Amino acid sequence: MSEVDADADADASPEPGSGRADADGPAGAGTATRTAEATGAGGREDAAGDRPLRVEGLAKSFGGITAVDGASFDVERGQLTGLIGPNGAGKSTTFNLITGFIQPDAGAVYLNGSDVTGRPPYELADRGLVRTFQIARELSEMTVLENMMLAPMHQPGESLWRSVTPGPRRDVQAAEEEALERVWETLEFFEIDHLAEEYAGSLSGGQRKLLELARALLTDPDVLLLDEPFAGVNPSLEERLLEHVHELRERGYTFLLVEHDIDLIMENCARVIVMHQGQILADGVPEAVRADERVIDAYLGGDVE
């Protein structure tokens, strides 16, 4: 059920932005928007303001199958936005397009006003957008603490551990202590500090999800994308995970959440985006979306999960 494998990362890295030239208009636009200063100078930051993530006309086909068909939406800062839709609607593909794991055929992704279409995952993490990852098999054989120390940071191959190794000895020690402190704080926040010495592979489904979220948080993101974070999680841990997400949201973190459980989305999200056959079918507050005839039709069309 892992939707992202090592290959996807490898594919995305060597040719960042390869899929964007056609969709992007003027050559070099991507370079110009690379820095935060450029973002501000162009006035796009104001425009982005409270919408740190925006996608416009995203499209992706696989062979003859159109998985995403001109999807446009944005995500408000400090909110929990839900992305729902029947199986095969294009939700995971949309996530993969946003997070740079696959290249769009058309359309653009804007992060804090900058065009980041097709940028590789590590660059997006550096700019503040991360997705949670399922703990890979090799990481299952490491402890929770080791997983945290090896959490990917801003550059390929970088981790908290690597990031503190070079430099004069005293600096290294100070940086190491700081990094460790941050790891422990994060583990405590998610109430999994008592599991620090356990192997990741021995955690329950819910505890793993907490660890995945904890790892994502170490990259200091402001936008987090969660693809079915509650899958395989028992109700009490689901409740806890949700509490953490809400607490982080209150601190200003922004979430885009793909989830099967429509009721959970409706109860917890300020805004709900509904995908159907690769298109955005509805987008609004839960009450409006729930009452939308087209949404009811899409779900009653036999595709209900």
Contacting positions for ligand ADP (CB under 6 A): 62, 65, 67, 85, 87-93
Of 33, 39, 81, 92, the one binding Mg ion by CB under 5 A:
92
Question: Please, what is the minimum distance in Å from the beta carbon of residue 256 to ligand ADP?
Answer: 13
* Partner in contact with 153, chosen from Mg ion, ligand ADP, none, beta carbon below 5 to 8 Å by kind: none
Q: How far is the CB of 298 from ligand ADP (least distance, A)?
A: 12
d(CA 272, CA 289): 7
E-state strands within 86-219: 106-111, 114-115, 129-131
Q: In what order do the strands lie in the sheet with 279-284?
A: 129-131, 223-227, 254-258, 80-84, 271-276, 279-284
Q: Extract the runs of DSSP E, i.e. beta strands, from the chain.
A: 53-62, 65-75, 80-84, 106-111, 114-115, 129-131, 223-227, 254-258, 271-276, 279-284
Closer residue to ligand ADP (CB): 71 or 213:
71
Q: What does the radius of gyration of the chain's CA atoms come to, in whole angstroms?
A: 19
Closest distance of CB 98 from ligand ADP, Å: 12
Residue 90 interacts with, from Mg ion, ligand ADP, none (CB under 5-8 Å by kind): ligand ADP
Distance in Å, CB of 67 to ligand ADP, minimum: 3
Q: Does 99 bind Mg ion (CB under 5 A)?
A: no
Cα separations (Å) of 165 from 181, 183, 292?
Answer: 16, 16, 55
Q: How far is the CB of 257 from ligand ADP (least distance, A)?
A: 13
Residue 112 as a binder of Mg ion (CB under 5 A): the answer is: no
Q: Which is nearer to ligand ADP, 210 or 282 (CB)?
A: 282
Sign of CA dihedral 110, 115, 118, 120: negative
DSSP 105: S
Stretch that binds Mg ion, among 71-79, 87-95, 212-220, 232-240 (CB under 5 A): 87-95
> In this complex, which beta carbon is closest to ligand ADP, that of residue 67 or of residue 149?
67
Give ∠ CA 285-291-295 in degrees, rounded to 5. 90
Nearer to Mg ion, 92 or 159 (CB): 92
The first and second tokens of residue 258, run together, are: 């793909």
Residue 132 binding Mg ion, by CB under 5 A = no
Least distance in Å: CB of 99 to ligand ADP?
Answer: 13
What whole-number distance in Å separates Cα of residue 175 and Cα of residue 169? 10
| Residue with Cβ nearer Mg ion (86 or 206) | 86
Packed helices 235-250 and 205-217: angle between N→C axes, nearest 10 degrees: 20
Residue 39 vs 92, nearer CB to Mg ion = 92
206 binds, among ligand ADP, Mg ion, none (CB under 5 to 8 A by kind): none
| Dist CA 210 CA 147 (whole Å) | 12
By CB under 5 A, name the binding residues for Mg ion: 91-92
